[in-house]
A and B are shown apart, each in its own frame.
Chain A
Amino acid sequence: MSIWAFTLIAVLFAVGSYLLMERSLTRVALGVGVIGNGVNVLIIASGSDAGEAPIIGREGVLADPLPQALVLTAIVIGFALLTFLMTLAWRNWTITGNDEVEDDVEDRMITRRAEQTAKLGDEPHPEDVQT
């Protein structure tokens, strides 16, 4: 692997991760796109050495075709994912006027419950009898 491939992978993953942690779905989609490219470069760079195109009959050292086949599939799937994500972002915008991910209401309620005091066992049930 060359120093350039190494650096490129590092930057693509860092930028992609940074964008994934945003609230705007458009930015998240961009992040998915960047990180997808990073993954593809990673598979090619770590899976084989550079060489001639793997076509039988060519002169010289041929590159390994297997990672290429994997990455080719990955590129297409990444496109499908990105398209779906952008449609979600667009839909969100059409309906709510923004493309931001909201906090999960249920999870926020757990946080609030934690602030109340915990009690042994469960809460008394209305049908409970006094003993």
Chain B
Amino acid sequence: MVFFAAVVAHFAVAVLALIGLRRRPVIAACAGLVVLAGTALVVVTQAIGATSAPRKTIEWLPLLGFNFTFQVDGFAVVMALLVSLLGFGVLAYSIAYFEHDATFTRFVGLFMAFAGSMTGLVLAEDLFTMFIFWELTSVWSFLLIGLHDKSEVARRSAVRALLTTGAGGLCMLVGIGLLQNQFGTTSFAQLREAAPTGKMASVAASLLLLGAFTKSAQFPFHFWLPGAMAAPTPVSAYLHSATMVKAGIVLLARTAPIFGDTGVWRWWVVLAGVITMLIGGWRALRETDAKLVLAHSTVSQLGLLTVLFGIGSPYATYAGVAHLVAHAIFKAGLFLGVGVIDHELGTRDVSKIGAARRSVPVSVVAIGACLLSMAGIIPLFGFATKEKALVALLDAEFGLVGSIALWGIVAGSVFSVAYSVRLLHALVRTPNDSASNDEHHAHHEASALVRTTLAAPVVVAAVVSLGFGFAASTVGSWLVSPSSALDVKAVSKLALWPGINDALLISLVVIAIGAVIGWKAPLEDNSAQQPQGERVFDAVYDATIAGAKRITAVIQPGSLPIYVGVTLLLVSIAPLSATFVDGFGSLSGLTSGTALEASVSIIAIVLALGVAVLQSRFTGAMFLGGVGYAIAALFALRGAPDLAVTQLLVETLTIVVFLLALRAMTRITTRPVARFPQITRMFIAATVGIAIPLLALAARDARTAPSASQEYFARSVDEAGGRNVVNVILVDFRGFDTMGEIVVLAIAALGVANLVRAAEQHRRAAISVKEVAGS
């Protein structure tokens, strides 16, 4: 229960920062630091000494099987610790980073909301709970990427990220729905017991994978992550390298034991992961902005994690957990380190960052250590984890897929060594144009406190990378519980020096090749263009918007006749299609009717056709009156004398109204404008004319209960003292309806009176203007 309170506390601080403490963001940030540290503490104390993983279910819609379920197992602990400890470091860093920046208060609020959602996500024990927090992180990510809302680039990148991850989230929701429908549960543990197989399981698994791939920027959705670098450095370091993009990996880790053996899973995961690794590595070698280099390297490393978690062998899972931790630490350090350089020099261009060596030497050394960890150089932690990954894949027996995974990772490792070494090269090289940097330097006389705060997390990340490397066997034993929470067989260990084996030999070759490529790789590369994926996304997006506008232009041309036509057509399609489905059987129920009825009907039909054909307004009004009188006669024939009388009176009044209005107008109406062809109108009119009487027939035949009138007949004399039941209904049983009808008449009368008065005033004014002009 207490860990649930910790999640809620994040959101409380978020609300506080966004509403209560708008003018004192630093205080809000300090409250955030307390909550983050507290969460880490809570998670650790919950996990230590617990015989079974603590669980908590909060019912939401128990009937539909939708509940919030949280569980603090080993994997959840390690993820939650990453989220809260890295969050602590990044938030502390951001206090200095955002000095004098007005967006800080919004940043703190969104940051804490994100941290809370992410904690909820990693603690989730069922897919549905995970989905809720998953979508929340997408929203916070959108707002954080677009933190500087006056930058068009930031807004576009935010939209790209949101639409991509949002679309994946929707696919995932469909997958969850399929699983819920098929197996009656979305809990990871129960799904594992159900061991889904077959076509439905494959479809659901593929949909879940789409969610994971979009969130973790796997090919072909890898393009949004580099774009998200428009966000401030703390956001990039936290969301887009260490935590949120790991959400997809968490989903893979949780679901690989469930779906690992369904046919499509392993191929999907390995291919997407390997392609992503290679694309990300290649682009990281070419970018000139250090932050973008890191972004592409993140994409590449996420590909590696996808392969490790997705392939589903116990060792690979263990290696995945280890590398996930290693990556989170060194990558957060790298992002924050680049932020330090950017803050100091005002540039992140890899050909210029060498100048940082003189002004912030400690940070540069720390960055170097993180780079070595990323390259997988002994004795840093990255070495131990990458060795483990290679060993795991060498051991795995998955045939062709396993080989693709292995050699894909080897090739990817060459890239990761290469881009790490390229950045190292940039850092140790003396830039050509140091003059401009000195000038810029003068603007940045940051206080010693600010500089220390900025550098501290970078140094911590480097020290931890180094310390974990030397203590690899101890750290390895800590990781047994997390990985065995995913797969009971995933028990292994890490070592600083594994001895000479195949993996080590491969690593040596990889490092040698990678180092040469990285050192030789040019630091100035002007050939960088908008990435392919981003261009495709933009093209699809633009086409969608343009298509929507075009459709709107077609169906909303501004012409009332067309609107009416479309409405009428749609109204008649429904009864028509129903009739085609049910058949025309009820047509045979038509009676021939009496001769009198026939003759009156024919008169009405002829007159009605006359209204349509004749263009004279006056004659049209007269014919309409004629139709009305004929129908009055029809009512009389059918046993409705009240209707007949009313109809006669009203038709007479209608003719009077028409005559009053038509006095002012010309006799003949103009032909309609050709935009809406006559033939189309006739077609629509004919469709309505066929559909509606068929509907009437169907309605008549659909009656199952006797008319409500039986009761009116029974109660009319006793309760209302009237024999004419129609009248009794109108003035007694349904008296309020008649009251409403009278109100409608009164409102119409008021409207008419006002319209007439206003028009008269207008006319009088127009006449007086004319007179003045004439005299």
Contacts and interface: CB of A to CB of B under 8 A. Distances in A.
Interface of A: 1-15, 17-24, 26-27, 29-30, 33-34, 37-38, 40-42, 44-48, 50-57, 62-66, 68-69, 71-73, 75-84, 86-91, 93-95, 98-101, 103-108, 110-111, 113-115, 117-122, 124-125, 127-131
B637 interface: yes
A26 to B, nearest CB: 5
B700 to A, nearest CB: 4
Interface stretch (B176-184, B279-287, B420-428, B729-737): B729-737
Interface in B559-591: 559-561, 564-565, 568, 589-591
B756 A91 contact: yes
Interface of B: 148, 150-156, 159, 230, 538, 541-542, 545-546, 549-550, 552-553, 556-561, 564-565, 568, 589-593, 597-598, 601-602, 604-605, 608-609, 611-612, 617, 620-621, 624, 627-628, 631, 634-635, 637-643, 646-647, 650, 653-654, 657-658, 660-662, 664-665, 669-670, 672-673, 676, 681-682, 684-686, 688-690, 692-693, 696-697, 699-700, 707-709, 712-713, 716-717, 723-726, 729-730, 734, 737-738, 741, 744-745, 748-749, 751-752, 755-756, 758-760, 762-763
A23 B563 CA distance: 12
Nearest to B712: A65
Given A21-B676, A79-B654, A91-B758, A54 B558 contact: no
A60 to B, nearest CB: 9
A8 B612 contact: no
A71 B644 CA distance: 11
A2 B689 contact: no
Contacts of A100: 670
Given A4-B593, A17-B684, A55-B723, A64 B689 contact: no
Contacts of B685: 14-15, 17-18, 21
Nearest to A26: B617
A20 B564 contact: yes
Contacts of A105: 558
Contacts of A14: 685-686, 688-689
Nearest to A83: B657
A29 B611 CA distance: 11
A94 B759 CA distance: 7
A101 B672 CA distance: 11
B558 A87 contact: no
A11 to B, nearest CB: 5
Contact of A79 (B605, B650, B729): B650
**Quick one: which of B556, B662, B685, B712 has the most chain A CB within 10 A?**
B685
B553 A94 contact: no
Nearest to A43: B696
Contacts of B745: 76-77, 80
A40 B650 CA distance: 13
A44 B631 CA distance: 11
Contacts of A99: 665
A115 to B, nearest CB: 8
Given A65-B726, A117-B546, A15 B690 contact: no
Contact of B638 (A12, A29, A44, A113): A44
B572 to A, nearest CB: 9
B682 A101 contact: no
Nearest to B702: A46
Contact of B565 (A5, A7, A21, A44): A21
Contacts of B553: 110-111, 114-115
Contacts of B751: 84, 87
Contacts of B707: 48, 64, 66
Nearest to A99: B665
B156 A8 contact: no
**Quick one: which of A23, A108, A124 has the most chain B CB within 10 A?**
A23
Given A4-B598, A21-B561, A30-B620, A63 B639 contact: yes
B740 to A, nearest CB: 9
B681 A18 contact: yes
B762 A95 contact: yes
B559 A34 contact: no
Top 3 A-B residue pairs of the complex, sorted by shortest distance between their CB atoms: A14-B689, A2-B593, A107-B558
14 contacts: A15-B609, A18-B682, A30-B624, A38-B692, A57-B723, A64-B709, A66-B729, A73-B737, A98-B670, A107-B558, A114-B546, A118-B549, A128-B151, A131-B148
A130 B628 CA distance: 71
B601 A8 contact: yes
Contacts of A83: 654, 657, 748, 752
